[in-house]
Structure 1
Amino acid sequence: MEQVAIRTCASYDPELVYEEVKALIDELGGMGEFVKRGERVLIKPNLLSAHEPSKHITTHPHVVMAVARLCQERGATVVIGDSPAIDSFQKVAKKTGMEAVSQELGIPLVEFSNPRPAPNGERRVFKRIEIASQIFDADKIISVAKLKTHSQMLMTLGVKNNFGTVVKQRKAEWHSTAGTSRDLFASLLIDIYLTVNPVLTVLDGIWGMEGMGPTNGSPVFLGFLMASRDAVALDLCCLTALGISWKLFPVYRQAKIRGLVEPNLSYKELYTRISLCSATKGFKIPKLDSMSVIPKGLEAISRRYLVSKPVIIDSICKGCERCLTICPQKAIRKQGNKMRIDYDNCIRCYCCQEVCDFDAITFKKGFFLKVTEKIF
């Protein structure tokens, strides 16, 4: 298994974060192992939407700043970029603190644009993938992810952070194409990760999010940072630290099938290597339905009656239309001042819940989840 470095970090004090990130990467050989003088390095944080760092929805700016400083110290030219899900890039950059990092370090901020087809890769399942042209223009990519739960994919960690390289409007297309099955979508995430091929993944787990993330979960102090050349290995180490079974994680299931996980690697073996703060105990994860056990041809029936569905709480909904805008199937409409979901067209990708700023979208448990809860 590729080495995964782990460091505890008690706060987001900028100098403390810098020292801990430096020590973290030094465990992997130092930043000089990843970037060289004169190289153009693109740092890709998680900038899902326009939220302040205290909400712990996006990568904290001080973690991004620490990585950027280390790259600059090696003589690299640094750029920070992402493609937010729905808000304007300018609004996201300002709200998340990335604009301040850009100004302090003299680093350009770029919004991913101009989708470009990626060269075919031998290990890819999806033969045609388009990602932002800025990825191909960089010499090296460093992914700086945020530790959060995810209502569709269980967790969003190192591998999934690369989905942000898909330009805004293309994200909805992929949710429509592959979002009906968690394992199929996990396979897509792995393809995108292999295409982007970051030389280093850093995970901001000082504060994370538990519950129904990635936007409306509960912030939780975890007090650690992780880094690795291998985002799959990093994700598994993170799951282990949080006490989460790998088998629940769609990315793990697909990575194992594709030979990206060591055959003899065990959860128990990895657990003995990891010693973190007690705050990781009792970490709350979303309860997911099975979306991949229904025979072909019956998917529409299963989604309609068996799988948990998003439900809009009228008393909380502000009618802001973010859910309407993000829905890949156009299954949401506005009726008066409230939003309504067409469940015949809803594919249960839960993008609506992901972007709701008011926690106005909850879930009605599907048949599978109800039965599972009774059994276990």
Structure 2
Amino acid sequence: MEKNQIYIKCGTEYTDMTKELLTQCRLDGLIGDRKLRIGIKPNLVSPTEASFGATTHPEVVAGIIEYLQEQGFQNLVIMEGSWVGDKTAEAYEVCGYRALSEKYGVPFLDMQKEKSISRDCGGMKLNLCAAVENIDFLINVPVLKGHCQTKITCALKNMKGLIPNSEKRRFHAMGLHKPIAHLGVGIRQDFIVTDNICGDLDFEDGGNPVVMNRILAGRDPVLMDAYVCHMMHYEVSEVPYIEMAEALGVGCGDISKADIRICGADGGGEIPKSRKVVELADAVEEVESCSACYGYLIPALEMLKQDGLFDKLDTKICIGQGFRGKTGELGIGHCTRNFSHHLEGCPPTENQIYGFLKKYLEDRK
């Protein structure tokens, strides 16, 4: 398989179709040495089942493991760290990865419990989870989905699960895009299997899954993300970390150079265009907010909209680390604790935010 190729397969037997896709890609030949330590990195952002649209289907990872073990690869580990605000250990259970780990005898490494190491990542010092150093070949298994801060999240951004929580917070203080791009230098992805089965096109933590029943495979994370932009009706320039990563030499962002190969008769339908976040985000003043905090706020605003209350918000909702020590009218999260009206939590859940904002609006009648 060449670096500019992206293979696509559709179906509903997710484990079998994953194995068939990897056979088409000749993954075993790309890895070579059967003694290499292989890391498998799913997206377990929060403890929600894959059908919710946020996390990697365990059937896809099962297909990867079965394929590798049948080809004689035995030194495998699954590695992941959930976002700040949720525990990886809970996602490990809820998302079906304990059962997966036990069935196939593949250890699961919780990155929230890992020591960190400092590495130069293309001119930027970043803290990585130490376990990354012991991986010879990394298979990234992201979910193709939307993100309320970066528009899309796929191959490049999924590497955030391999950095400690303190570094995740610092990423947001640095503006997300630049550190994500540099992280692509610090952690090399050798192969990508993208779960496009039912990702949420708006929210990183799911809730509005869009069934596509499709899996993509490739070797270049920049090209994969650029192609995902195309699939989700965005220009690559709208997701700055992609062009930044390309400039750092992580990969190629020019989709005109992509060789798209459909495995079977069906390449799947077109992903519907969805832009819920754009309208909802107009009600928010966000400065350096963490993904979980902002990610819970936007769905809460969608709930207000469904109740007919969203249009009554005439005060900007402040959120993020940039509001620490500052005062204001309406704030979400611990960082806005000095505001006149503020909801405590790091992060508060979307139901807590919804209830807080609903009461705030009702009290102002």
- Fold similarity call, TM over 0.5: yes
Q: Match of 1:252? A: 242
Q: Match of 2:158? A: 161
**Most deviating of 22-31 and 46-55:** 22-31
Aligned 8 A contact 1:6 1:224 in 2: no
- For 2:212, the aligned partner's letter is L
What is the CA deviation profile of residues 200-235 of structure 1, one whole-angstrom value per residue up to 9, with x for unaligned ones? 111100111112x11255210122111111111111
Question: Is 2:285 the counterpart of 1:287?
Answer: no
Q: 1:37 & 1:342 partners in 2: Cα distance?
A: 49
Q: Match of 1:222? A: 212
Secondary structure at the counterpart of residue 142 of structure 2: strand
Q: Match of 1:90? A: 89
Q: Match of 1:43? A: 40
Shift of 1:149: 0.6
Q: 2:226 & 2:23 partners in 1: Cα distance?
A: 21
Question: Is 2:104 the counterpart of 1:80?
Answer: no
Residues 344-355 of structure 1 aligned to structure 2 (within 5 Å): none
Q: 1:258 to 1:134 in 2, by over 3 A?
A: closer
Secondary structure at the counterpart of residue 213 of structure 2: strand
- For 1:224, the aligned partner's letter is R
Residues 115-134 of structure 1 aligned to structure 2 (within 5 Å): 115-118=116-119, 120-121=120-121, 124-126=122-124, 128-134=125-131
Q: Match of 2:181? A: 190
Aligned length in residues: 313
What is the CA deviation profile of residues 271-305 of structure 1, one whole-angstrom value per residue up to 9, with x for unaligned ones? 99888423413344743999xxxxxxxxxx9969x
- For 1:208, the aligned partner's letter is G
Secondary structure at the counterpart of residue 146 of structure 1: coil
Q: 2:336 & 2:229 partners in 1: Cα distance?
A: 33
Shift of 1:253: 3.0
Q: 1:210 & 1:355 partners in 2: Cα distance?
A: 22
Q: 2:53 & 2:325 partners in 1: Cα distance?
A: 28
Q: Match of 1:234? A: 224
Aligned 8 A contact 1:154 1:288 in 2: no
Aligned 8 A contact 2:142 2:155 in 1: yes
Q: 2:255 & 2:79 partners in 1: Cα distance?
A: 35
Secondary structure at the counterpart of residue 198 of structure 2: strand
Q: Match of 2:59? A: 62
What is the CA deviation profile of residues 144-201 of structure 1, one whole-angstrom value per residue up to 9, with x for unaligned ones? 111111111111100100111111232112322x12xxxxx22211211221102111
Question: Is 2:134 the counterpart of 1:137?
Answer: yes
Q: 1:253 to 1:53 in 2, by over 3 A?
A: same
RMSD of the alignment, in Å? 3.9
Aligned 8 A contact 1:151 1:214 in 2: yes
Question: Is 2:201 the counterpart of 1:201?
Answer: no
- For 2:146, the aligned partner's letter is T
- For 1:75, the aligned partner's letter is F
- For 2:222, the aligned partner's letter is V
TM-score with structure 2 length normalisation?
0.73
**Most deviating of 141-150 and 186-195:** 186-195
Q: 2:152 & 2:90 partners in 1: Cα distance?
A: 25
Secondary structure at the counterpart of residue 129 of structure 1: strand
In structure 2, runs of 5+ residues without a counterpart are 289-293, 305-318, 340-344, 358-365
Shift of 1:236: 1.3
1:71 to 65, 68, 71: 68
Q: 1:49 & 1:21 partners in 2: Cα distance?
A: 23
Aligned 8 A contact 1:210 1:283 in 2: yes
Q: 1:158 & 1:48 partners in 2: Cα distance?
A: 14
- For 2:138, the aligned partner's letter is I
What is the CA deviation profile of residues 50-74 of structure 1, one whole-angstrom value per residue up to 9, with x for unaligned ones? 1122212111111111112222223
Q: 1:302 to 1:340 in 2, by over 3 A?
A: closer
Secondary structure at the counterpart of residue 46 of structure 2: coil
TM-score with structure 1 length normalisation?
0.71
Shift of 1:5: 2.7
Q: 1:266 to 1:199 in 2, by over 3 A?
A: closer
Q: 1:59 & 1:131 partners in 2: Cα distance?
A: 22
Secondary structure at the counterpart of residue 209 of structure 2: strand
